[in-house]
Every structure is written in C-alpha cells, then in structure tokens.
A and B are shown apart, each in its own frame.
Chain A
Amino acid sequence: MSNLPVNNDLGFYEIRMESVGGFGANLAGKILGEAGILGMGFNGSNFSSYGSEKKGSPVKAFVRFCDPDVEVRVNSPVIEPHMLVIFVESMVGAPGILQGVSEDTTVIINTSLSPDEARDMMKLQCGRLVTIDAMKIAVEEKTRVNTALLGAVAATSGFIDPGSIKDYIRKNLGKKYAFLIEPNLKTFDRGFSEFSEKKFADDGKYPSQTIERGDQKTGYLNQAMGGVISAPGNSINKDLTVSRSGWVPVLLREKCTHCGECDITCPDYCFIWEKGTDKKGKEVQLLDRIVYQHCKGCLRCVEICKFDALVERVEYETDPEIIKLGYSSEVPEDKAAAK
C-alpha cells in the first residue's frame, strides 16, 4: 500500500507550480521536495524549468513523490499534475498554465476571489479548486507568497506533514536569513488555514485547456532560414503584466510638466509621447500616457519625477480605468485647494 493518496502509473504523486521569477516557486519546490523526501521518507525529485536567471519571467517548479522502493527514472516535466499551484493570478490566461488538469487535480491559486468566482475567471474545466489570498498574507507578514501557498499545499494534499515543511523552511532560511524564519512560519500557518475550496465536476461549462503535443505553430516548414526574425520589434505585442508584483506608477496628468526624465529612466519604454502645442502655441512633445501592458512596476519613474506627477499605487486598489487609459485625470490636492 502506498502512503500517497493517489499516484500515476509510474507510482508518482506529481505537483506543478506555475509562477514568475521572484515569487519564490523554485525555493517552494525545494522545500517541499526536501520535506517529503528527507523529512517524510518518500523518494522523489524536484526541478524547475527556467532559462537564464530573470526576475519577472515565467517559471515552473516540479515536485514528484513516490514510495521509497520506487526508482525515480523520469526527467520530463509534470504534464498531468495531481496538484497544480498557481502563484500569480494573472498568469491564468497564458497557454499551458492549466495543462493536464482533470477532475482529480487539486488546483491552488493565489487570489482574493472565491472558488466560484475564480473558476469563472480561470475558465476552469473541472477539478478541486482551492483559493487563497496569499498576496494579502505575504504583504501583511512582510514575506513572500511561497510559504503561504506551501501552507495550502500541506493542508489540502492529505499526506504532506506540515511539521516537516516547517523544518525545511527553517533549514533553508538557515543562519543567513534567520530573521525571516518566524514571519515565514506564521505565513505558512496562515496559508494552512486561510483558504476556501470547492470541487467542480466536468459539467461542460468550460472546455479543457490542455494543449495537445505536436501542436507547435512554428516548425521546420515555416521557420525562416537560419532562424532570422523578419518582424521588427514584434515583442511589442507581449503583455508583461505578470512581471508586476503589486505596485504600479500612476501618471497624474495635471501635475506633469513634460520634462522628459521619465522617458530616460524607464527600462521598459512604456511612456507614449505625442506632438502638441504649449501655452504659447509652440510645437512641443507632450507625455500622453503609460502603456501598462509593458510596465513591470519597477517604479523608477516615480523615483525620478521631481513634480510628483508619477506616484506609486497599490495595483489592486487602482481604478482599472487608469490602467486602461494610461493616466489619471484626478486633480491633485494642492491644485484643487487653489481653486
């Protein structure tokens, strides 16, 4: 008899974490792997899929557990997870995030939504959906979402010992980050209890989001010779929203003097300028808006702006209209007072 609640034909309980560099998925996978394998005596493996070391880029972490007598011989990524953990809510639309989800999958997502709302947001075909506001917990505890999500993982897995995970949170933070141990253990405990869940059958409401293998659009019949790209600047179509970690700059047009310094400092070329005329009728460059599709929320522009025309805001408290338009028309307090 296996000590795992469910396993696949090779004997594995498989976990996939979908995240963005900087949220700690790699470390979460390591802690989980060590807790299960060194702490609880399973056999298994852990690895991440990532390219070069970038913050803000998608990353996947994988953990496999099997009984101690099972040999680990699989090196490929987890395609049909028993547990899927989504670190960043806004990733959900990206292709392949919900790859391999079935009615038996436990899907844990970092969101403030209820399971019913989250299902609709995700267009989730089926599965046991666990929602947890890990970002709120992390902000309150001054930690990262990873340990909150590990709490939910332990609580909903049915076999992972929370004590073992806590041991390996302590060991991984070690002496170097000893001051982070207590807040992370508290974050873990909150994750362990502050979640909601609901089971959704495959009721036909949403289709599967699994991509068939071999469905690749680019191939040897259509790749340009030598791999050249002949669509200049086509990265402009990309949406980098997932790179933000909770904050956005907001452009207060009323305060902007169009000095141009934000355009110097922005690494992501998000500022759009238009030709216009100044009060004297002279043709000048005018800052029109921020393209939030490309903004990674670094806030360099807020730092450089001498006129408080660019201000830091918490993204989820920001009027979606501002994100859509790229600026705010609100009249700043001092100007309002002057009127």
Chain B
Amino acid sequence: MSSGTESSDSAVKTERPAQTTDFRSGNEMASLAASHINFHVMGYYPITPSTEVAEYLDEMWANGEHGVKMVPGDGEHGAAGICYGASTAGGRVFNATSANGLLYSLEQLPVQSGTRYPMVLNLVCRSVSGPLDIRGDHSDLISTLDMGWIVLCAKDPQATYDMTILAVKIGEAEGVRLPVIVADDGFFTSHQKRKISYFSDAKTVQDFVGEFEVINSSVDPTQPITIGPYMNDPDQINNKKQLSMAMKLSETVIPKVFAEYEKISGRAYKPLETYKMEDAETAVFILNSAADTCMDVVDKLRERGKKVGAIYPTVIRPFPADELRSVCKNVKALLVADRADSYGAHGGRMSHEVKAALKDDPDNRTLVISRIYGLGGKDFFSEDAETMYDLTFEAVEKGKVEVPYDYIGASPGDPDWKPAPGVPVLTKADQSPGILNVFKDEKTGKVEVKGVKQRDLTAMPHRITAGHGACPGCGIFPSIGTFLKGIEGFVVMLWHTGCGMVVTTGYPNTSFAITYIHNLFQNGAATMSGVVEMYKERQRRGEIAQDEEITFVMVTGDGGLDIGLGPALGAAFRNHNMIILEYDNQGYMNTGNQMSFTTPLGHATSTSNVGTVGRGKTFNHKDSAQLFSATHIPYVFTGSETNYKDLIRKAAKAQWYARNEGLVFGKLFSDCPLNWRHADGNGQEVIQAGIDCDFFPLYEVENGITTLNYDPSAKGKKVPVTDWLKLTGKTKHLLKPENKDLVDQFQTEVDRRFARIRAMSENPIL
C-alpha cells in the first residue's frame, strides 16, 4: 500500500507487543487491520468512500502480504450475500461499504444477525442519495441501528484500526455471536492521514482475536443442519428475544474486550467517551470525527470559564444508556448533534435515543436540544461547535429549550440569485435535420439507413452540451455523442450513476440540453421502463398528444450493468420501447478504476493488482451483448466511435426498432485514458486495436439474425491481442515472458468468441 515507514517501536519499556508508528488514513487502517486479522474471505463491491479498503487489501494480496480471499460482488446486495454464505461456512468474514451500497444490502443485515453469524462490516459513513452526494454524513449509519448488529464508532484512523480488531473479538464472544459494524466518517476519517500506531507483527493481532470458533457450519456434512428455517409465529419472537439477550450480554463483554486490548495496545476505550465532563454544566453529544472539533472548542470555552464538556460514544449498539444517565446527572443542558435527520420525527435519531435514556432516570432534569448538522459532508468548523454550545447556554439561562429541533449550517441562499441561463430549448425541428433516411426493406425484412454523412450530421445539435467536467480525452462523450447524431427528434435520457453522470450534472449546472433523469445504478433500466409506460398510458388517455414522439435512451457504464444487470434484463424481457446503451470502458472508473466484470483477463485495475503474486484480473470478461441477445429483443448491436458511420447507422436503426418493435440494447467500446493509462489523445488508436484483434467484434442482431459488420481478417487488418495490449499501461505487464500463458489463454478466448459471432453471421439459424 503506501510508502509506510516503520519508525519506532514504542513498547520496549512497557513489555507490550511492538508497535510501529506511521502516517495513515482511516481506509488504510481498516485494510491494515483486516490484513492483520487475516479474515478468511472479504466479499465487497466498490462504493466511494469505502472503496479504498478493498483496493489496499487487493494490493497487499497481490504482493503476498495476507491470505484474505477477495470476492468481488455483482453489487452490494450480492457482496452481502457472499459474506453471509462465507460466514455460514465457518470462517472470519469482512466487508466494507457506504451509503446507498449499505442500503442496497440492508435486507441482508437482519439475515446475518437473525441467524447469528458474526462478521465485520466497515461502514465508511456517507450521505444517502438522492440527489447523489458522495461526502460524509451519518444518513447511512442510522439505517443500521435496528438490524441486530453491534455498532462501534471510530472517530479517527487509529480508532478504525483498533475497533476493527475489537469487533472480531466482541462479535465472536460466547453468547454474543453477532455481526459487528465499525463506522467511521467518509473522507473526514477515511481519507485523512494521521499519525498512528499498529502492531508490528500481525501475529499479535491474531493471538488477541484467537482461533475462530466454528458454530453451525454449512460445510460439515457429518453434522447436517438446516440454516434459516421458515419461522413464523410463535417462534420468530423468541428468535428476536434471543438476539436481544445477546445484545444485552454484549454490554458486559465489550468493556472486558476493551480492557484486554488496552493491556496489549496501551489504548483505552470506553463505550461512552467523555471529555471534561466531571464538572460540566452543559455539553454536546456527537458521533465520530466531529467530536474532535467539539473537544477543541471545549478547551477554548473553558479558558473563558465556561463549564462545558463533550460526549461521544464508541458503541451505539448496544446504546450506552446507563453510562449516559450517569454522565448527565448534573448536566443542565445537552445538545445532541446528529449528522442525519429522521425526517418528521422532531429530532435526529441520536437525540431520541439520548432523551429515551435520560427519561429512565426520574431525577434527571437535563434539557435536550436536537440539532442537525453537516449533512452531505458539509464541513464542521469550530464556529459551528461554538454555536452549539451557545445554544446550551441559552437553554440554561432561559430554563427551557425554545427551539427543540433545527438545522445548523443550512444556507437560505440569496433570493436574488438565479442559475446561469442555459442554451435555448432545442425544438423538435432543431433535433430533426432530416439527414438520415431509415426504412424497412420489405423484401429482405431488414431495416436500412441511408445518408450517414458525418459532415452533414454536424448540423445535429448537441443534446449534451460543452462544459462538462470529464477528464481530457474521455471516451464516453464521443461514444454517446456520436450515437445521438443518429437519433432524430425529441430524446429523454436516463443515466446511471457513473463518470458520465457525475461530470455532467454538478449542481447547479447541467450539461443536458434535453430532459435527463439520474437513478442509482441498480435501477436505471427499471426506472426508464416506468417512464416509457407512463408516457404511453398518458398518450392512451389523451393527456399527451398521440402523435408526439420521444425516444427514450437509458445510458449505463459497464459498472452500472454489473450491479444493474437484473433490472436491465427485466426491462428486456418486458420489451419496452426504449434503448439501453452501455458504454464499456472496462472498469468502475468513477470510483477509481476497480475491476468490473467486463475487465478482460489479466488487466490491472485497483482491485486486480499486479504484484509478486497478482497478475491482474483472474477471470474472463462479461459478454453483455450476447446476454441481451439471449433475451430475444428485436435489436442488439455493438459499436464504437472509431467506426462511426457504422455506429450512427446503428443508432438510426435502434430508434426505428425502439419505436416499432421494442427494446434495443447497444454496447459501445469506450476509452478511458486515465485508467487505461495512455496519452489523452490516443483513444481511437487503442479502441481500433481492440477491434482489430477481434476482442471487440462489431455486429448486430436483428430479430435473432446476426450480421458481423466488420471482420478484421477479411479486411487484412487482423492483429494479435498483444498489438492491443502493448498500447495501455494497464496491460503492459502481460507482455512479459512470465505472463505468456495468460496472454495465450486470453487470445484463445478472444478467438473462440469471435468465431462464434462469425458462425452466427454466416448461419441465420444461429
């Protein structure tokens, strides 16, 4: 991973195990802890800002530094399923996720806890969409509180390391046997480097957590068991009572495990941490990184003679209610700051838990104020913390809380402000230059396109405007832009989450001159189906003119078509009048170049690293065009900007088929100079080489009949795959002699797949 430098061993005098001082971020520490624990399996799916945890672990794995088997999910739901299965099979399991990734996998959380299989989930807290926000808040964390998991909070990178280790021992404790979340703050902690210590020898950690005790193994045929029976009343309530008892038991286990850890690490933790609370008259209760800021402000206010303190829990499930009641005995006013709102509940989630805990102490007179702060990653400055303490002073002075619930840090905005005006609205006539002639040849039964002249087509207005923030040389915009040259008339687009979406719609700006919708990338195709059917239904009811026509285009990256494959296939089975376009740049580029299922064999990404052991991706690329072909939709095609006339022709046909027959799927071979690692201007050369080596065949399937549109061999242009692989940084290692077997394997697969397409093209029945 990083350049990590061993500096000093601090343990000589105390006879504790040796530790190394270093300068690391929260994500680095989570992955380091996981490697020290040496979990058996990590099931994961990349999502910002937790992504790096899997990246660092993969990088360490590639260099033989640990034995954690890394299994990439098809989405967070799938990743959670991998983790569940792995945990039933009798080993230690780890996962890392954030925000909507967590919510997508949420239904798996009670399955894990209800059947009592421990594991550790590093939740790198981030704002839940929508609109999409990738920064840190706790709107994901609050969704986990009722799932039957123990929840530990880590306010800084050191705590992330420690809590990950502690989580193993707590969750696996006899009688507890519950999964554990370790929550730290996205970006604030996950991406901030601090001076930290870790055990110099992973064995120290492994001795501390001990051997994994296998209970209820799914892979012991000598003891057959049924895991997860069908359990209604009257039994389910008793399963939950047991879970509740386990949670209760953990309240005594946690302090013991913390104390044991202090002995070897020198670092003490308590379920409810307090700062200068001994004589505090008012305080702020706050989670994670923002507690640091409050402590700075406590020091500052105490210099001015104010008796203030700060409270921050390291355990919120089970909620440290006894400790809180004890700490708050003499507190006159307490502000509970939530980095997430419970809309309509008149207060943030933590404020309710605090109020509920204090209510159980009949003598408690603490005034409780609820404030929501820092949503969507809004920075929390010491001035904000001071505002919180001022509110506690005001409450004490007035003897009551005048505004029990409100936001801190939201901006009213300038009433005179108007967003920058956009481009003139594109009329139907503007978007219908009438250059292409599309018709069905009644004799052949095929749809034909005449008039594909790129010079004339420069008259087609850009539905996506300039000013987007993609990297220099990005292949997405030539791919989609060229496709749109072939589409006449009104267009409504839906884009999945991904690079293309993020760089075009940063509020308050948009690069879409036409109507655009975003939905998260599990669900774009389903969402577009709903749009199409509502449009048609409203036409049927006469609410929208019968003769109005819109072409509906849903755009996804190859990543969105991994996690969103199910709904996309569902849309295909239903055969809606719409187009699904996949721009395939062979990786999750928006989150930093993790492998996707379309990443080819041996290609290096941030989760298929090259090292002493790692040789890039370990399995072959997904063939999404053939997957959709198997759904028997009217039209499937592949295309590329390098063969632009072919692509524009296919776009016009796609529009014809979407209008007249149903769903169209198109796959575009799209460049990413940043993560493929080649010069910004070379995209077309690289793409063309990928086509000329037969890796990416250009073909179309019309009502089941395949036509190969470009056969490099027939044109005398066929090259070996190495002619393509030598052009990008992500594949250069494959040219080394030691990887020849891998390249041979790849060449064989490419040739086999191309031969199939050629055979289909030659035989209509195929």
Contacts and interface: CB of A to CB of B under 8 A. Distances in A.
Interface in A244-267: 244-245, 258-261, 263-267
Classify the secondary structure of A's interface with B: loop
A293 B465 CA distance: 13
Interface in A49-100: 49, 51-57, 72-77, 79
A232 B422 contact: yes
Interface residues of A, number: 88
Given A73-B296, A237-B467, A267-B470, A258 B191 contact: no
A158 interface: no
A311 interface: no
Contact of B478 (A79, A222, A265, A287): A265
Given A45-B193, A213-B383, A236 B466 contact: yes
B459 A273 contact: yes
Interface residues of B, number: 101
Interface in A277-301: 284-285, 287, 291, 293-294, 296-300
A235 B472 contact: no
A207 interface: no
Interface in A135-187: 168, 171-172, 174
A263 B467 CA distance: 16
B477 A267 contact: yes
Contacts of A275: 459
Contacts, number: 281
A230 B418 CA distance: 11
Interface in A10-65: 10, 21-22, 30, 33-34, 37-38, 43-49, 51-57
B414 interface: yes
B467 A238 contact: yes
A291 B467 CA distance: 11
B290 A75 contact: yes
Nearest to B683: A300
B468 A235 contact: yes
A51 B134 contact: yes
Contact of B509 (A55, A75, A230, A235): A235
Contacts of A77: 379
A304 B482 CA distance: 15
B292 A73 contact: yes
B766 interface: no
A57 B468 CA distance: 10
Contacts of B191: 47-48
A56 B21 contact: no
Interface in B460-482: 462, 464-478, 481-482
A49 B379 CA distance: 11
Interface in B502-549: 502-505, 507-514
B411 interface: yes
A219 B193 contact: no
A233 interface: yes
B507 A227 contact: yes
A183 to B, nearest CB: 18
B48 interface: yes
A330 interface: no
A167 to B, nearest CB: 9
A38 B23 contact: yes
B685 interface: yes
A-B CB proximity, top 5 nearest = A219-B413, A235-B467, A299-B681, A73-B292, A298-B473
Interface of B: 2-3, 5, 7, 21-23, 25, 48, 130-131, 134, 185, 187-189, 191-195, 289-290, 292-293, 295-296, 300, 379-383, 410-415, 417, 419-423, 425-426, 453-459, 462, 464-478, 481-482, 499, 502-505, 507-514, 589-593, 641, 644, 673-674, 679-685
